[in-house]
Amino acid sequence: MREHLVNLSVLAFVVCAFVPLSHSGVPQSRYEAMMKRETPSNLGLYNATDKVNILTDSNFKSSVIDKDHASLVEFYNSYCGHCKRFAPTYKELAEECWPWRDIVKIQAIDCAAEENNDICREYEVMSYPTMRYFGPKYQPSENNYGTPIETQNREEIKDEISKLVMNETAPTDNWPNFSNLTEDEAPQVFQELPHQVVYVILILVPNEMPSSLGAQTIMNFNRYPQMQIRQISDEKLAEQFHMNQTSRLCAMDRNMNMEPLQYQNNTPKAYKEAVEQFAKMKKLTQKPDAPTPSPDKQNTLIDEEQKEAQEQDKKIIDEVKRNKHMTYQADLEQAIRHILTSEIPRVNQISGERLLALQRLINVLQRYNPLGQSGQTCVNRLQEYVSVNNQEIDGKDFKDKVHQLENELPPIYSSSRYVGCTGSKPDLRGFTCSLWKLFHFLTAQAAAEDKSSDPLEVLSAIHGYVKYFFGCTDCSQHFQDMAKRRKIWNNPSKDDAILWLWDAHNEVNARLAGDETEDPQFPKLQFPTKESCQQCQKNSTSNPQQVVWDREAVLNFLKNINNPSYISRFGLDDPEILQENLEKIRQKRMIGNVFSDMDMRMGMLLYGFCIVMMIAAFKLFAFKGYRKKAYAHDFLGKV
């Protein structure tokens, strides 16, 4: 009996003192050991290996305003799919325009970074990517925020830049001479040039030809101190230099000796190759760049931190790939944080329909807030703020209000990074992934909680946000077109709203599957997969390859994974910020995962049996006592 009591005690101890696992099956110690990091917002789509100069709020004005060079600036959004697709083109443009760097610099600023909000708002950037040309000595003024470059074709961009640069007033004596060589200048073309110039390259560019041909060639070789490029548009003058329609490119030395250059066709690329060949033959060289500073200890530390962060990313990605259907608290929080601190504040003046969209969004966030107590207080006060200001709100004022609340209240967010939406590269997944997670959570919570009778409250808030605030212009237009085509306003119930958003998300996944913006480690599949929900998918009897959805099963699945009790807290920095009751529910669920219903019933039965036996033993020994028996001792005799 004593042996049985010991076994039952051990079982009772295991049941009562069980150490909970994480929601995803990882021991709690792994949570505490897991290092978190906030993805640097200045990583963007370009880095130090590109020829693109990276701008931020700290260097924008010093790099663009009142400079001796012009600037082409791309205002982009690092999570915008269209910006990601355009980035390789912009990198190629910067590479090809690298010889122009003393005249026009190719630069870019990430408007998705919170610290750059003020710049993007000040320059009234409303779509992405946006390219603006800023001339030398540029000074900002009302309605003067640079010259827009509308095309995204690389050759057309170079053509437009060249024409703009050609028409600039020379800011310095070193500015290239884009004017056409005149008959009066021709005999003494070398007299006003520095003594180190030993060759003048003449280009015949008649008026009927694109003027950017000569301008691009001039900028391509601006950094060669022994050579200068000049244009000729007068064909009669060109004849004096033995130039004609078939010989448009010639080199002239100080003795006025002419040497025709061989080129394939009348394009900037062909002219560049011809002049480069001539420079190589004459051993002409470019002026050197300023020496690049050697890496310092700070850069070394940054590299080590990035390497460590990548290792932590890998651990998180491995964990998330094992639990693809999970909704993570960290992602919901990051979506809300980015909306409040980056997306909304980018808009300069919020009024009219845009203000109504903001009010609807904040109202929905207030009703179905996934944050802790401080986060709920923050959103409640924001709701009061946007309700009182019912005429117009300045984007900067909204941002200041958010920061004020963050400073006044205890910590609002329990996480500083994405978890379920971590990408295999910094520019993959992230915010757009977390935004979909938040949208699904809001529709599920609206159906679960009886806080509004309007079945469209969440969908209308989502539609307004995407239309007026979402930073990816191309994505926003796709969503609006899809909403119209799929009749977003014809959902009669909150359950229908959940399924409408699910259908829409799967349509987007189908459209972007295989796209260059897709994360190869997280392919865009139709969700939920059979692995996540076997009941949700059925094979068609007529076509085995076709997926037939059990919409009722899908609805239950979406409600379950977005139930606050089941939201995963894996990877949080400070789970204590969240409400305690959710954690208690989680622990009960974890225990239920370990012990089946049969296990629990048997355990309770054994536990009860143990109590009965202990009571019986107590009565036996405490109330009846025990009988004393005599025994024999070797020395004392009978005792």
Sign of dihedral through CA atoms 106, 111, 114, 118?
positive
Same domain, 113 and 243: no
Tell me the CATH number at 354: 1.20.120.310
Instruction: Please return the burial class of 22, using the count of CB atoms within 10 Å of its CB with bins 0-12, 13-18 and 19+.
Output: buried
Same domain, 138 and 217: no
In this structure, of 10-24, 264-278, 289-303, 333-347, the range with the lowest mean pLDDT score is 10-24
Residue 92 is part of which domain span? 53-166
Q: pTM for this one?
A: 0.78
- Give the pLDDT mean for 583-611: 61
Place of tokens 């003795």: 255
Same domain, 388 and 319: yes
Same domain, 385 and 329: yes
User: Where does 492-557 show beta strands of DSSP type E?
Assistant: 537-539, 547-549
Q: Within 13 Å of residue 121, how many CA atoms lie on the same side as its CB?
A: 23
Provide the pairing of β-strand 249-253 with 104-110: unpaired
pLDDT score recorded for residue 48: 87
d(CA 406, CA 410) in angstroms, rounded, equals: 7
Same domain, 474 and 549: yes
Same domain, 160 and 193: no
Instruction: Please return the burial class of 163, using the count of CB atoms within 10 Å of its CB with bins 0-12, 13-18 and 19+.
Output: middle
pLDDT score recorded for residue 606: 82
8-state DSSP, 340 = I
d(CA 143, CA 124) in angstroms, rounded, equals: 9
In this structure, of 86-95, 271-280, 574-583, the range with the lowest mean pLDDT score is 574-583
| Residues of the chain by 3-state class (helix, strand, coil), percent to 5 | 50, 10, 40
Express each pLDDT in 443-488 by its tens digit. Answer: 999 999 989 999 999 999 999 999 999 988 889 999 999 999 999 9
- Give the pLDDT mean for 501-516: 94
Same domain, 147 and 202: no
Residues in the chain, total: 639
Structural domains of the chain, count: 3
Question: Tokens standing for 247?
Answer: 């010989």
Chain centre to alpha carbon of residue 403: 21
Domain boundary among 247, 281, 315: 281
194 SS3 class: coil
Same domain, 328 and 406: yes
Tell me the CATH number at 109: 3.40.30.10
pLDDT score recorded for residue 581: 43
d(CA 126, CA 476) in angstroms, rounded, equals: 12
In this structure, of 212-226, 261-275, 378-392, 589-603, the range with the lowest mean pLDDT score is 589-603
Same domain, 557 and 430: yes
Provide the pairing of β-strand 199-204 with 249-253: antiparallel
Question: Tokens standing for 183?
Answer: 């008959």
Write down the H helix ranges in 323-456.
329-338, 352-367, 373-388, 395-408, 431-448
pLDDT score recorded for residue 39: 37
Same domain, 74 and 220: no
Question: Tokens standing for 88?
Answer: 């390789």
pLDDT score recorded for residue 29: 32
Express each pLDDT in 41-67 by its tens digit. Answer: 346 899 988 999 999 999 999 999 999
What percentage of the chain exceeds 90 in pLDDT?
62
Residue 21: inside a domain:
no
Residue 31: inside a domain:
no
Neighbours of 499 (CB within 10 A): 18
User: Which residue did the predictor score with more confidence, 549 or 304?
Assistant: 549
Long-range contacts made by residues 58-64, C-beta under 8 angstroms, separation at least 24? 58/115, 60/109, 60/116, 60/119, 63/105, 63/107, 64/107, 64/134, 64/138
Residue 17: pLDDT band by 50, 70, 90 thresholds? Answer: very low
Express each pLDDT in 539-576 by its tens digit. Answer: 777 776 677 899 999 999 999 999 998 999 999 999 98
What percentage of the chain exceeds 70 in pLDDT?
84
Same domain, 262 and 392: no
Report the mean per-residue pLDDT for the chain: 85
Residue 238: inside a domain:
yes
Residue 453: inside a domain:
yes
Residue 570: inside a domain:
no
Return the H-helix or E-strand segment holding 165: helix 154-166
Return the H-helix or E-strand segment holding 160: helix 154-166
Domain boundary among 561, 593, 620: 561
User: Which residue did the predictor score with more confidence, 210 or 282?
Assistant: 282
Same domain, 248 and 366: no
Express each pLDDT in 143-155 by its tens digit. Answer: 889 999 999 999 9
d(CA 346, CA 126) in angstroms, rounded, equals: 8
Instruction: Please return the burial class of 445, using the count of CB atoms within 10 Å of its CB with bins 0-12, 13-18 and 19+.
Output: buried
Residue 14: inside a domain:
no
Question: Beta partners for 394?
Answer: 349
Domain boundary among 512, 542, 561: 561
Neighbours of 529 (CB within 10 A): 14
d(CA 338, CA 431) in angstroms, rounded, equals: 8
d(CA 101, CA 69) in angstroms, rounded, equals: 8
Question: Tokens standing for 322?
Answer: 């094992």
Q: Is the pLDDT of residue 305 over 50?
A: yes
Instruction: Report whether 199 contacts 252 (CB < 8 A).
Output: yes
Residue 624: inside a domain:
no
Residue 494: inside a domain:
yes
Instruction: Give me the phi and psi of 638, to 5 degrees please.
Output: -80, 125
d(CA 376, CA 373) in angstroms, rounded, equals: 5
Question: Tokens standing for 602?
Answer: 């048997």
